[in-house]
A and B are shown apart, each in its own frame.
Chain A
Amino acid sequence: MKATPIRLPHARIDPSRPLAFEFEGRRLQGFAGDSLASALLANGEAVVARSFKLHRPRGILGAGKEEPNALVQLEAGAFTEPNMRATLVPLYDGLSARGQNAWPGVRHDLFGLLGAFKRFLPASFYYKTFMWPSWHLWEGAVRRLAGLGRAPGVPDPQTYVQQNIHADVVVVGAGRSGIEAALRAAADRDARILLVDDQEEIGGALLASPHLQDRAWLDHAIAQLAACSNVTVLRRTTVNGCYANNVLAALERRTNHLGPAGQGRPRERFWRIFAGRLILAAGAIERPLAFPNNDRPGIMLASAVREYTHRFGLTLGSHIVFYTNNDSAWRTALELAARGLGVAAIVDLRETVDIELLERAADAGIACHLGTAVVDTRGRKGVRRLRLRRLDGGGATTALPCDLLAMSGGWTPTVHLFSQAGGRLSYREADACLVPGTTIADVEVVGRANGEFREPLNVKEHWLTPDAPPERQWIDFQYDVTASDIQLAARENFVSVEHVKRYTTNGMSVDQGKTSNVNGLGVLALATGRAIEDVGTTRFRPPYHPVTFGAFAGVATGALYRPFQLLPAHREHVAAGAHFEDYGAWKRPACYPRPGEDEDAAIQREARAVRRSAGLLDYSTLGKLEIRGADARDFLNRVYLNNVATLKTGQARYGLILNEAGIVIDDGILICLADDHFLMHTTSGGASAIHQHLERWLQTEWPHLEVLVDNATGQWATLMLSGPRSRDILQRLPCDIDLAKDAFGHMQYRHGTLCGLPCRILRASYTGEVSFEISVPARQGPFLWRRLVEAGGADLVPFGIETLMLLRTEKGYLHVGADTDGNTMPQDLGWGGAVARKAADFIGRRSLAQEAGRDPDRFQFTGIELLDPSASTIAGAHVLSEDARTTAGYVTSAFHSPHLGRTVVLGLVAGAARREGETVTVFFDGKTQKARLVKPGAYDPAGELLNG
């Protein structure tokens, strides 16, 4: 293979725009319009990569997405990207790339010595070898060696977007067939046509045609497309997958051709395409031939040679030999010869070839070797000589000098999207390829993707060179899979093509077997004595082409990883120094550390302040559902486990909500605002789920009940003022509600105005102290927060949700979701009596009567008192069974109590209700400690303080 200092005329590059680039530290030059691969070839870079397993030198094999060899590490630092195929990287000024899987470089790779041990490294050697004495002994070394390329070690500064698009007709592939299909479809002016192509410019194989009439046709067609207002063309876009209802996933490379200079604009765009009708015109990929040492640099696909010659203007050899089993390579050879390139010979496995091709070859001075196989190649840094053998001539071989071998083993239609759309393939023996064998509604396959080759191929099936060592005949160039590996798999009784793929790694990794799958099938068919059709194919799973993580993520990274919700008074919390934590989607203050305090210290301080004086918590996430209608009371009595039918206006009642399996799914306080109007408080994370729960029952089970549900959670900002001085502080603000102890008791509700704002106040306590849950219109939440902080002065501290959790754990209050699990029934929480007392039916009642619900060893809610007061534990610690062999429960909440001077613990423990006072063993962090089962509620067990 030689360098091309001067490009051939008519190439689609711009010689007036030279571009400097680097490969492996060497400064090189290409031109605008080049791919990295064509630029490397133009500079005579024969070895551009190393194979994965054996580190064999690899040159460029293909010219497009089929390339298995030329994987490079593009750029460095934050912009680096591994496993980029040089054939798909458009050249830009300043591009920098390195080879992969080699040290110190791809030309001279020390690991290349592995090739000498090939016979000891057959397929699956690692499955068999690294089992003894233990996989873990080998794991570290294997993981260091495994993988191709290096992932960036710093965050990617580039942006990625995702976009949806709808079209009546989507054409995939903009070669001649695709363009024709798009123009046909565009005749319907009401139809929206989307033409998607993965190349830098549309045209497909026409871009590599030396024929002026082809180029003229393409120019005309492009002009026609441009004139169609109903056609959208997406270039540089690879359709990677086809899903149900003709939904396609595609990746558009927006600024890759600009390199890091494109920063600021989206690098890639991930398209989700909704297609009415799908036309697949993705073309076909030429296959390599299997023969000994067919992986040597300087051996390329004939179609790639055509492309590099006519599209990029390269002269890759002066003694070019074509090796083929079909007619297409002859035409390519003749095209090259017509350009004056040195086509020395055509070696054809077939005994006979179309007479016209033979005559034209003879006229061009090309030697023809029919019925002949290449049985070896030689050359250290690139192919220099071939050894040929007549297929019917015994063992005698002849030598043939060669500096570029262009091979063609037939063509493989690109059918992955058809297959993913549900189509089945059939094997067409005449062309030795798999073609669409069924029809699918709204999916059409055209052109070479459908096996419609414009000129006859006359392929002779050839999967393996006979009487030649199979261990030197490469099938998968990327993973060093040879024919002998597939034969070994067959001998070891792997008959399913899926199993053979995994056993040998044939068709894995970046190229996903675009050049190796069909040849692998052929070798497997030969080895197992089956027809290709009976061997079948591996599944065509998306993505067809590697997709970056950035494209999958789009803008959903960092702070936008998932939606977040902010409290109405978020800014006030930021100003107060809150440390935020995620509770569902909500950003809630966990606590408000002061300078020098860590979170633990802040929580302890806040808890002491609430018990001693007063604290203010932003409780706006509290679920607030308003239920109205003539049947609201009846409906709610069916929803709640306990009886709410008797609730009077202005009263509030705590209740449990079950699902139909009798499992506790939420709890909270129900307030009667009017006879037909109720306010249901749910847990913070439960508002939407309970809203849906209510709507499901209303819409599907009881559609006759006249009930309307309004989720008013966000309409109100709710602040919890809690502590012995809370009433005093609240009374410092103008309010038309009588806040006196006797006038406004625990579990009562009032509405009126506070600081001139409409307000709702509930006397309920989740801290064990006297508390006021004050709701005002959400937009006024920040104002009320500031007013209360002002009014409280030194008597008041803001406290966070973590502090609240400590306070309620001291008090033994249940937190549904933390102190319950997916099995918790009301009797596990001590609510068995309420179930028995309620006469009316309610959701989940029937399930409570089942045998499982009566098991005395169910996990039940309990307090757990550590016998060593200085000991601590955490939520999740196990409570062991009596024989200490199994888990008999676990800790659900555990906090250090500043008031009790020890860790307060709640948990779910087997049979806890009947085992009160028993000693149990708690296991955590490899240690055990003794504890006693006690009633929940270590702080103020009499419950007097909340009435204060």
Chain B
Amino acid sequence: MVEQADPGVTALSVRRGRFFAAEDAGLGLVRIQCFHRREGVADAVAERLGRPLPRTGEIREGEGERIFWSAPGEWVVALPIDVEARWIRDQAGNLAGLPALLSPMGDSHMAVELGGEDVRDVLARASTVDFSPDRFVEGRTVVTRFAGITVLLGRPRGADNWLLVVDRSLAAYLFAWLESASVV
């Protein structure tokens, strides 16, 4: 059932049968963008950040953070919310002089954890991506149309659950959709 104080407003979790989805309020989100059309910029950004940036469709984990590829020259970093501001401040300093920027996106986007035995079935109701275990392997991520809206969806390595990043203004819709579509 959707836990909400007001229908369609603060739907923070859905649990039905062998599927659940819940906002991960403990995660902060940061977008990395760089002028990737200039050769060497992406590598320079990675070097300044002190961590390799994942290639297309991949996730890179480490040091309490996960970096998701999200578009050419763009990545989304998911990290504990209490270190988000410091991380941005520190890393923005490291990137000074490079055609790159860091933008907080925790206010505009929400991280949602999806899991349960039926999770792939529910995912397959929302998106045309092939979610078979041998096709959508651990460490893979996509930006895709999901339940009619654009989301970033990833399957981090070593995690039981999937991580989805959705525009916060669409979160109520998404949870209501998951509530309806997860019926078995």
- Chain A: residues with CB nearer than 8 A to chain B? 159, 161-166, 192, 264-266, 272, 274, 554-556, 559-560, 562-568, 570-571, 574, 585-586, 626, 628-630, 703-704, 706-708, 710, 712-717, 777-780
Contact = CB atoms under 8 A, between A and B. Distances in A.
Contacts of A570: 9, 172
B37 A710 contact: no
A164 B125 contact: yes
B75 to A, nearest CB: 13
Contacts of A272: 128
A783 B105 CA distance: 19
Given A562-B148, A574-B9, A714-B167, A555 B180 contact: yes
A159 B180 contact: yes
Given A161-B125, A563-B149, A628-B101, A265 B184 contact: yes
Contacts of A713: 108
Contact of B9 (A159, A274, A566): A566
Contacts of B10: 571
A719 to B, nearest CB: 15
A272 B127 CA distance: 10
Nearest to A264: B183
Given A161-B183, A166-B135, A777-B107, A566 B169 contact: yes
Nearest to A269: B125
A559 B101 contact: no
B35 A629 contact: yes
B173 A563 contact: yes
A713 B34 CA distance: 20
Contacts of A703: 37
Nearest to B135: A166
B35 A560 contact: no
Given A560-B180, A563-B147, A715-B104, A163 B124 contact: yes
Contacts, number: 116
Contacts of B105: 715
A564 B181 contact: no
Nearest to B127: A164
B43 to A, nearest CB: 17
Interface in B146-183: 147-149, 167-170, 172-173, 176-177, 180-181, 183
B101 A563 contact: no
Given A162-B125, A166-B132, A567 B169 contact: yes
B89 to A, nearest CB: 13
A166 B130 contact: yes
A565 B99 contact: no
Contact of B99 (A162, A264, A574, A629): A629
B109 interface: yes
A598 B107 CA distance: 35
A566 B170 CA distance: 7
25 contacts: A161-B183, A162-B125, A163-B121, A164-B127, A274-B130, A556-B148, A559-B8, A560-B176, A563-B147, A563-B170, A565-B167, A570-B172, A574-B6, A629-B99, A703-B37, A708-B35, A708-B100, A712-B108, A714-B109, A714-B169, A715-B105, A715-B107, A777-B107, A779-B106, A779-B107
A566 B37 contact: no
A571 B6 CA distance: 7
Instruction: Tell me the dominant secondary structure on chain A's binding face.
Output: mixed
B103 A715 contact: yes
Contacts of A554: 125, 181
B130 A163 contact: no
| A-B residue pairs, 4 tightest by C-beta | A714-B108, A778-B107, A565-B169, A555-B180
A564 B100 CA distance: 32
A564 B8 CA distance: 10
A564 to B, nearest CB: 5
B33 interface: yes
Contacts of A166: 130, 132, 135
B52 to A, nearest CB: 21
Nearest to A677: B101
Contacts of A780: 107
Nearest to A629: B99
A80 B103 CA distance: 54
Contacts of B130: 166, 274
Contacts of B148: 556, 562-563
A778 B168 contact: yes
B140 interface: no
Contacts of A585: 170
A499 B104 CA distance: 62
A243 B37 CA distance: 37
A161 B181 contact: yes
Interface string B1-25: 0000110111000000000000000
B81 to A, nearest CB: 11
A3 B100 CA distance: 82
Contacts of A265: 183-184
B181 A555 contact: yes
Given A161-B125, A266-B183, A566-B172, A560 B177 contact: yes
A710 B173 contact: no
Contacts of B184: 265-266
Contacts of A714: 107-109, 167-169
B103 A710 contact: yes
A624 to B, nearest CB: 10
B35 A565 contact: no
A165 B129 CA distance: 9
Nearest to A708: B33
B31 A710 contact: yes
Interface string B122-147: 00110111101001000000000001
A568 B172 CA distance: 11
A279 B100 CA distance: 51
A568 B101 CA distance: 25
A715 B6 CA distance: 23
A560 B100 CA distance: 38
A571 B109 CA distance: 18
A776 B136 CA distance: 38
B101 A708 contact: yes
Contact of A712 (B103, B124, B127): B103
A708 B101 CA distance: 8
Contacts of A777: 107
Contacts of A704: 37
Interface in B14-58: 31, 33-35, 37-38
Given A159-B183, A628-B101, A565 B173 contact: yes
A564 B151 CA distance: 14
Contact of B177 (A555, A778, A779): A555
Given A161-B181, A564-B172, A626-B103, 17 more contacts: A266-B184, A272-B128, A274-B128, A555-B180, A555-B181, A560-B177, A563-B147, A566-B172, A568-B168, A571-B10, A574-B9, A629-B99, A707-B35, A708-B34, A708-B99, A708-B100, A715-B103
A159 B125 CA distance: 14
A715 to B, nearest CB: 4
Contacts of A566: 8-9, 169, 172-173
Contacts of A568: 168-169
B101 A710 contact: yes
A625 to B, nearest CB: 12
Contacts of B99: 629-630, 706, 708
A706 B38 contact: yes
Contacts of A707: 35
Contacts of B149: 563
A789 B76 CA distance: 36
A556 B176 CA distance: 11
Nearest to B31: A710
A555 B103 CA distance: 35
A586 B101 CA distance: 29
Residue in B107, B135, B173 with the greatest tally of chain A CB atoms within 10 Å? B107
Contacts of B167: 565, 714
Contacts of B104: 715
A272 B129 CA distance: 11
B128 A163 contact: no
A717 B127 CA distance: 30
